[in-house]
Amino acid sequence: MAITFYCYPKCGTCKKAKKWMEENQVEYNDIHIVENPPSKEELRSLITRSGLPIKKFFNTSGKKYRELGLKDKLNEVTDEGKIDWLASDGMLIKRPITTDGDKVTLGFKEEQFEGNWK
């Protein structure tokens, strides 16, 4: 079964993750996270299956996150409001997100990929 791989082609972390998957012959479907961001429903599912708090799904080092001043606003917004923000702009989402429909990884840590996708 192919892994769904949400990424941004210019992202260095995404490039490292993609290289790892290619070197380890992991089949994946590449989805451009800015052109085709996950829907609210997909995000809810990814967040639930990841076991991580919604806050972890924000690209806190991104320009868009800083421009919108989300650091100060996240604690004041409901979970649904956070999902609305994430679904509105793929640049707000931490990447890459990888999933096989069951497990979900966020970002790229080689040991995490080894444990989940090999």
Residue 106 clears pLDDT 80, i.e. is over it: yes
Catalytic residue among 11, 14, 17, 26: 11
Domain boundaries, the chain: 3-117
CATH class of the structural domain 3-117 = alpha beta
| pLDDT score recorded for residue 87 | 96
Mean pLDDT within 102-117: 95
- Compute the mean pLDDT over every residue in the chain, rounded to the nearest whole number: 95
Residue 1 clears pLDDT 80, i.e. is over it: no
| pLDDT score recorded for residue 39 | 96
| pLDDT score recorded for residue 118 | 83
C-alpha radius of gyration, the chain, whole number = 14
pTM of the shown model:
0.92
Mean pLDDT within 8-20: 96
CA dist list (Å): 25 to 54, 63, 112: 30, 33, 16
Residue 60 clears pLDDT 80, i.e. is over it: yes
Is 7 tagged catalytic? no
pLDDT (tens digit per residue) in 88-98: 999 999 999 99
Confirm if 99 and 43 have CB atoms less than 8 A apart.
no
